[in-house]
Amino acid sequence: MTLVVDNKWGSEDRSGPRHVAIIMDGNGRWAAERRLPRVEGHRKGVETVRQIVEASKELGVTHLTLFSFSSENWARPKQEIHDLFGLLRRFIRRDLAELHKNGVRIRVIGSRTDLDGDILRMLDDAVELTKDNTALNLTIAFNYGARDEIVRAGRQIAEAARRGDLAPEDVTEERFASLLDTDGLPDPDLLIRTSGELRLSNFLLWQLAYAEFVFVDTYWPDFDKTHYEAAIAEFQRRNRRFGGRTARSTA
């Protein structure tokens, strides 16, 4: 689906999404079409992250969640994984101070299994440094898989039941959600996926239950504020009924 920018965000005065989740897809194909190494696509994709973080604040988005490295990405060639981790290290070293200065709070979700110690320390330091910031909540899904997240939450439920600390009737949606990596975050209002792919790829399967989906043909390295505004405009044109018969706001 190719979106066309609408200068007026919908025909009605509807609020924009407060929480946007993005599957940043297409770095490799962007590079391949230019006969460049895949790492160049990932490097350009990091530049896009910087732009979209800034644009989120300008557009009134309070929570931004980015799918940066999935638990399935370990199947990629070792060199590409090495390059991706190198870019993460460089991004944190280069951008953390600026993000902190601009009031961005960083949160990291996903499994800590198989991650190098220096990566874990850098992620933990970024979270600790920015924990009191309020301008934008930036969540990085790193080494993340939604099925793994749900299984880990289910395991905690089972262990509590085995200890006798939890009765079956105590297992509610709220209790289960509190055991997910995203505990304390509002569910996404809008999911954007770039590059023309039309699937979730094991991303936030629980949390996206009532999100609006916008798929764009643009590769992530070429995704800019104009595309972002168009996706938000599409979101604002939709009626969100959450299973009911009338539109309901989440603002």
Tell the residue number behind the tokens 């895949």, with chain if given.
Answer: 38
- At 230, list the tokens: 């168009």
- At 68, list the tokens: 């940066």
DSSP 36-94: --HHHHHHHHHHHHHHHHHHHHHTT--EEEEEEEEGGGGGS-HHHHHHHHHHHHHHHHH
Count of beta carbons in the 10 Å neighbourhood of residue 11: 9
Active-site positions read 25, 73
**Residues 20, 220: Cα–Cα separation, whole Å:** 15
DSSP reduced 3-state for 168: helix
DSSP reduced 3-state for 151: helix
| Angle at CA of residue 196, ends 191 and 199, nearest 5° | 55
